[in-house]
Amino acid sequence: MWDQHQRELDLKLQRERERIKKEHEGSEQELRMKHAEREQQRLRQEAVRATEARHRKMNQDAEKEERTARERRFQEEQAREASAQARKVHETLSSYRSSLKTTAANEAKLDEEWALIENKSKSGSLALKDIPFPPESMLRRQLRDKKSFQTNALRWHPDKFTQKYGGILLDSEKEEVLKNVTEVFQIIQRLRKD
């Protein structure tokens, strides 16, 4: 009996060992499965993070390219505006230089015509067409300095003009010439006040 009892105990022990072994194998397998699931989840998360990082990088690169393109367009626009402004300045300066040359030429021509009038006053008669009446714009420029103002004020003063040239003016045009001289003198006076 003892043998039988021993066998039963051995059998029981063996079953218990197998049960424990199965439980252990089951829990070991369960642990391996859980570990494998965790590993898969970790790998999925890493893949998602890597994908998100790639997307972020692509977005950053796209934003950087867009910003660079905007900056380049802005710089090109600034360069075009600066170029247009430089052209305008150049054109204005050219126009101003041209007008200065024209003005200087007109003023020189006016001085030459006055020299001719001076010569005529010594030897002949003076007609309306011989007198170089200056335009208001020329007077405005000439009145900027004191010497030009004095010259023009003496030249176009009605009494001085009559005193100097009244004797050689054509009688038929005398009244109209003096009227024009008076108008020029009034313009000079008005411009001087302004």
Query: How far apart (Å, rounded) are the C-alpha atoms in residues 190 and 194?
Result: 6
Would you list the domain boundaries of the chain?
92-193
pLDDT at 159: 93
**174 Cβ contact list (under 8 Å, min separation 6):** 166
**Which residue do the tokens 């893949």 mark?**
47
Query: How far apart (Å, rounded) are the C-alpha atoms in residues 79 and 156?
Result: 52
**Which residue do the tokens 């247009």 mark?**
84
**Read out DSSP for 77-111?**
HHHHHHHHHHHHHHHHHHHHHHHHHHHHHHHHHHH
pLDDT higher than threshold 90 for residue 113: no
pLDDT higher than threshold 80 for residue 11: yes
Between 43 and 97, name the one with better pLDDT: 43
DSSP tag of 169: B
Cβ neighbours, 10 Å, residue 151: 14
Q: Whole-model pTM?
A: 0.48
Digit-coded pLDDT (tens) for 58-93: 999 999 999 999 999 999 999 899 888 888 888 877
Digit-coded pLDDT (tens) for 134-188: 888 777 877 777 787 888 888 889 999 898 888 888 889 889 989 999 999 998 8
Average pLDDT, the chain: 82
